[in-house]
Structure formats: C-alpha cells, structure tokens
Amino acid sequence: MRRVSHWVFDLDDTLYPPTVGLTSQQRLHMLGYVQKVYDLPPDEAEIVRRRLVAEHGTTLRGLMITKEIDPVDFLSWEDDLDLSALRPNPPLRDALARLDGPRYVFTNGSAGYGRRVLGRLGLDDLFSGVWGIDSGDYLPKPWLEAYERCFDAFGIEPASGIFVDDSAVNLRVPKDLGMATVLVNPDDPYDHDHVDVRVPDLLTWLRS
C-alpha cells in the first residue's frame, strides 16, 4: 500500500464493534424522535426514519429539512446514552499508536460525543482531531461538502489519506477524492468498487 500520512476513522461500529450495542440505542432514540415529530406509531415511524436516512444521509439531517427541528435538541439525548459497555481496548490502542501520521475521527454524531467515546475506549490522546456533525453545519457523511469541511479544517490531504468506515456508502466520496478506503464490516454482503480493502474487524487488519 502507498504511503499513508493521514488516517481518518469513523467512530461507531468502527473503533468499537457493533456488539457493544450503542448503535441500537441510537436507533431507538431516533425512532422515538421521528415518532414524536411525525406523530406516528413505531412501525410507520421506522419507515419514515429509513426514508430520511436514504434521502438525507442521517435522521437528523432529514428531520431538519422536512420538519425544521432544532439539531441541538435532537443531539442533547447523546448525554443520556449508556456508554458503560465501552471499555479501554489496549491492543487496539497499541496498533493505532504504531500508525505513522496523524489520526482523526469523523463521526455523524456530535464532536463531544466522539470525544467521550474515545475517552471510554482509552484512545482520546491518540487522535489529533474529532469532527462531528455539529462541527460543520450539521451536514453529515456521505455529503461531499461534509468531507471537504472536515479535511480543510484538519489539513487532511486526501491523496495521501486513508478513510476507514463500517458503512460502505461513506467511503464513496473519500475514494472519489483520491483516498484509500477500508470497509470494516463483517456483515456487508455486497461488492463495492470504491472499497480498496474490506476487513471484518479493525484490529486484525491494523496488525497485519
């Protein structure tokens, strides 16, 4: 692999495994929010939630556009998330620490949430920057402008960068911008032309 000088990682289900269950907590919250705002029963709200994600990238962005909700109110629930299942991961820490070049997190959660999760994982001091959805006008991955803002802010050079995410859709723009792409996901059954490397878990790959 060519020389990599900037490492950009997604947070949820990438720097910790999906089995931790945080994403299901988040999904439940978002479903509840859609239910409330759209005044729908759970099954119909779930259909709306999926449509919002498909059309706008995230539930939050979709609710901001279709219902003009306050993003600060939407994200305030992150303070109530139970992070107790997140534990320090010394082997992952060692593997990340050995990487040459600065490491960054780009999450569709808030930057504060990103830093809290990194803290729980014992990784916070290894990252030079955390970009959250609140860092750039609530524009999420996979929107091109969201990546451009993040990369501009941190001085990330895509041509020598690598983007690591558990969601294939979030790797399309990084690939188009010239980055190497790594999909960390044991359950994605599809072939993706824009994915350079696919791995079931981050640590195994970093060690190799």
Binding residues vs Mg ion (CB under 5 A): 10, 12-13, 166
- Shortest reach from residue 117's CB to Mg ion, in Å: 11
Q: Which residues pair with 161 in a beta bridge?
A: 6
Contacts of residue 84, Cβ cutoff 8 Å, sequence gap at least 6:
none
Place of tokens 């999420």: 140
Question: Which lies closer to Mg ion via its Cβ, residue 12 or residue 78?
Answer: 12
Structure tokens at 40: 């729908």
- Shortest reach from residue 166's CB to Mg ion, in Å: 4
Question: Which lies closer to Mg ion via its Cβ, residue 10 or residue 78?
Answer: 10
- Shortest reach from residue 41's CB to Mg ion, in Å: 28
User: Backbone dihedral region of 178: left (phi > 0), alpha (psi from -120 to 50 degrees) or beta?
Assistant: left
Question: Which lies closer to Mg ion via its Cβ, residue 17 or residue 119?
Answer: 17
Question: Which lies closer to Mg ion via its Cβ, residue 50 or residue 66?
Answer: 50
- Shortest reach from residue 68's CB to Mg ion, in Å: 26
105 sits in which H/E element: strand 103-106
Q: Which ranges of the chain would DSSP assign to H, the alpha helix?
A: 22-38, 42-56, 59-67, 71-75, 90-97, 111-120, 144-154, 172-176, 202-207
- Shortest reach from residue 48's CB to Mg ion, in Å: 22
From the centroid of its chain, how far is CA 25?
15
Question: Which lies closer to Mg ion via its Cβ, residue 138 or residue 163?
Answer: 163
